[in-house]
Structure formats: C-alpha cells, structure tokens
C-alpha cells in the first residue's frame, strides 16, 4: 500500500527523482546557508537553474542563516514545480539533541508555507536521512506521522502530498512506516 487519504488529501509514496515532480511545490532538504550543496539540494539547484539561488541569497541577506525546522519559499525556476520550499532538517547527533522535534518542525513548516500560498500539491524528499545521517526508520515514522497529523488537524488547500524516495531501501522503509500508520489510525477508529 503506497497511499492514504487524510481528510481531503491524498498522501502517496513513490520512488524517484523529486526534481521531475509536477506538484505545485517540491521541498528541498537544504542547509542553513541556503547556498546549495550535495544530495537532493544539489540536484534541485542543477535542475532548477540560477533563479532559485538568487532568491535564496536575498533571503539569507535579509534574515540570516536559516535554523533547523524552519522553511522558506522561492521560485521553482526551470523546474516543473512552480515553487521550491527550502527547509533545514536536523543533523543527527545520536538522538539526544532535539532531532525528532526539529525534523517534525521541518515538515510542519513546509506544509504551513504551502497552505499559506494556497498550493494544491507538494512533494517531499526524505529530509535529513542522507548527509545529515538521521536513521531512515525513525525519520520515516516521524515524517509520515507529522504530515498525517497536520492534514488531520488543518483544513488546507493541499489535495496531494507525495513523498519521493530516491532509493529502493528508503522507499521500502517509508512503505513499512505507512503500513504502521494506517494500522494505528484504523485501530483509533474502532
């Protein structure tokens, strides 16, 4: 099972490259400098072109480096997505440095920005589980639980939320986490 409907929103898991998604916004797992980097961040800037970095530079000039858990929105440049929502996940430091809260904050901030901009669809990568070293099992559970709670608790413009998982192992881990979430929410309704 790779789908779950929450209120008016369809949550879907796919394996693939987020830069090719056609949702209104794609989320970037950025770093605090918003200067681009490796992983999904590098891929988004390569595919989207220089307009994205120009806006990122203006944002940092105005408000400084972006702390983990927060998010900002820019143009999507040459991407199919109109917007990129840049959020910063936590760097994994053993799990005792507020990582779980900051990871949930990154997903919530991104969803809030999408809703504030009246977007109908958004795609997420697996934030923090690459260079930032967050264990994928734990991160997948937090990602899906946070998106599920947000969509349950807020009536928004968002009709479609997609997790775009790059590699087979990450995709399988998110699938298992979604099964767990669906079972728990079915039990809650009994």
Shortest Å, Cβ 182 to ligand ADP: 22
Q: Does 105 help bind ligand ADP (rule: CB under 6 A)? A: no
Q: Does 90 help bind ligand ADP (rule: CB under 6 A)? A: no
Q: How far is Cα 186 from Cα 63, in angstroms, rounded to an integer?
A: 43
Q: How far is Cα 50 from Cα 67, in angstroms, rounded to an integer?
A: 23
Q: Which residue lies nearer to ligand ADP by CB, 36 or 154? A: 36
Residue among 24, 41, 105, 188 flagged as catalytic? 41
Q: Where are the alpha helices (DSSP H) in the chain?
A: 39-48, 50-63, 99-116, 136-153, 168-189
Question: Catalytic: 41?
Answer: yes
What are the backbone angles phi and psi of residue 98, rounded to the nearest 5°? 70, 20
DSSP class of residue 20 equals G
Q: Does 36 help bind ligand ADP (rule: CB under 6 A)? A: no
Residues in the chain: 190
Shortest Å, Cβ 40 to ligand ADP: 4
Q: Which residue lies nearer to ligand ADP by CB, 48 or 73? A: 48
Among 11, 13, 18, 114, binds ligand ADP (CB under 6 A): 18
Annotated catalytic residues are 41
């Amino acid at each position: 099972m790779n789908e779950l409907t929450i209120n008016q929103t369809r949550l879907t898991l796919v394996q693939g490259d987020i830069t090719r998604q056609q949702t209104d916004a794609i989320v970037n797992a950025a770093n605090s400098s918003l200067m681009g980097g490796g992983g999904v961040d590098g891929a988004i800037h390569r595919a989207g072109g220089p307009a994205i970095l120009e806006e990122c530079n203006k944002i940092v000039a105005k408000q400084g480096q972006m702390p983990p858990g927060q998010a900002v929105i820019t143009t999507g440049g040459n991407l199919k997505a109109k917007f990129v929502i840049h959020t910063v996940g936590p760097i994994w430091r053993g799990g005792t440095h507020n990582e779980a809260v900051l990871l949930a904050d990154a997903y919530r901030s991104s969803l809030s920005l999408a809703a504030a901009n009246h977007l109908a669809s958004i795609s997420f990568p697996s934030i923090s589980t690459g260079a930032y070293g967050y264990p994928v099992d734990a991160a997948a559970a937090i990602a899906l639980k946070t998106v599920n709670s947000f969509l349950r608790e807020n009536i928004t413009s968002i009709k479609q939320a997609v997790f775009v998982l790059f590699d087979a192992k990450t995709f399988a881990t998110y699938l298992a986490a979604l099964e767990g979430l669906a079972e728990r929410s079915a039990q809650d309704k009994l």
